[in-house]
């Protein structure tokens, strides 16, 4: 099953055309669920979903937070974002998108890239490919974030407390607290509000 999150009927029509190309070789693609709100997706459908395609055309941090919850609960789902460069202008959105998405494509080239992605998916070649926005990539390098700090940062900027983060990532609260302090130090801030202000001013 594939879940497609979109409120655009043209996107649905285009995706239907794309899926029809694979039906003869991949019958599993017949089962496509289109929704315009993640709250409408049942737990049963999420358990069956092999891929979630997100038509992310405008800023929606609530949707990103919901998708991050889904990514944590249903790790088997391969999340594909169809987005636009403008959606990467916010550093917080940038961090969340790059954490949630297994595959991110700009809408201008989405047909070609999504076709390739689905072909690999059909052949069970689900290598995780994250195409990061260059601004966030350079920010990671500039601040010399460790791998663990990069993993924790999306949870921190989404407003989650240390207890929640430790539960999601199976870490001790002490470990999360230690890395949170290091992140704040590297961005020269003392709290989450300071971190938001840094991102608002493009760090």
Q: Does 134 map to a domain? A: no
Select from 32, 36, 41, 80 the least CA-distant residue to 60: 36
138-188 pLDDT per residue, tens: 788 889 999 999 999 999 999 999 999 999 899 999 999 999 999 999 999
Residue 77 and residue 34 share a domain: yes
Q: Does 109 map to a domain? A: yes
pTM of the model as a whole: 0.65
Say whether pLDDT at 83 is over 60: yes
3-state SS assignment for residue 1: coil
Number of Cβ within a 10 Å radius of residue 8 = 12
Residue 175 and residue 94 share a domain: no
Give the gyration radius of the chain's Cα atoms.
Answer: 18
d(C-alpha 86, C-alpha 18), whole Å? 25
Q: Does 194 map to a domain? A: yes
d(C-alpha 148, C-alpha 129), whole Å? 19
Number of Cβ within a 10 Å radius of residue 120 = 15
Which of residues 91, 122, 153 is at a domain's end? 122
Name residues whose C-beta falls within 8 Å of residue 54's C-beta, 6 or more positions apart in sequence. 5, 6, 63, 67, 79, 80, 81, 82, 83, 101
d(C-alpha 101, C-alpha 98), whole Å? 6
Domain residues for 164? 143-200
Residue 105 and residue 56 share a domain: yes
21-61 pLDDT per residue, tens: 776 666 666 788 999 988 889 999 999 888 899 998 888 88
Pairing between strand 103-106 and 78-83?
parallel
Using an 8 Å Cβ cutoff, are 65 and 17 in contact?
Answer: no
Q: Which residues pair with 52 in a beta bridge?
A: 3, 79
89-113 pLDDT per residue, tens: 778 888 888 889 998 877 666 566 6
What integer pLDDT is reported at residue 126 of this predicted model? 54
Q: What is the CATH number of the domain that holds 184?
A: 1.10.10.10
């Amino acid at each position: 099953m594939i879940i497609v999150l979109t409120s655009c009927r043209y996107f649905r029509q285009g995706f239907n055309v794309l899926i029809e190309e694979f039906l003869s070789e991949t019958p599993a693609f017949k089962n496509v669920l289109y929704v315009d709100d993640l709250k409408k997706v049942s737990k049963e459908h999420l358990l069956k979903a092999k891929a979630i395609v997100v038509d992310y055309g405008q800023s929606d941090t609530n949707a990103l937070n919901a998708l991050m919850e889904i990514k944590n609960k249903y790790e088997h789902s391969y999340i594909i974002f169809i987005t636009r460069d403008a959606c990467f202008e916010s550093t917080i959105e940038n961090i969340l998108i790059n954490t949630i998405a297994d595959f991110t494509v700009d809408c201008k080239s989405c047909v070609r890239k999504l076709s390739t992605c689905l072909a690999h998916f059909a052949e069970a070649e689900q290598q995780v490919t994250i195409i990061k926005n260059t601004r966030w990539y350079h920010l990671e390098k500039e601040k010399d974030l460790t791998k663990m700090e990069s993993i924790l940062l999306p949870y921190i900027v989404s407003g989650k407390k240390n207890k929640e983060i430790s539960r999601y990532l199976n870490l001790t609260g002490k470990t999360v607290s230690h890395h949170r302090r290091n992140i704040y130090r590297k961005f020269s801030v003392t709290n989450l509000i300071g971190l938001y202000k840094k991102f608002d001013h493009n760090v």
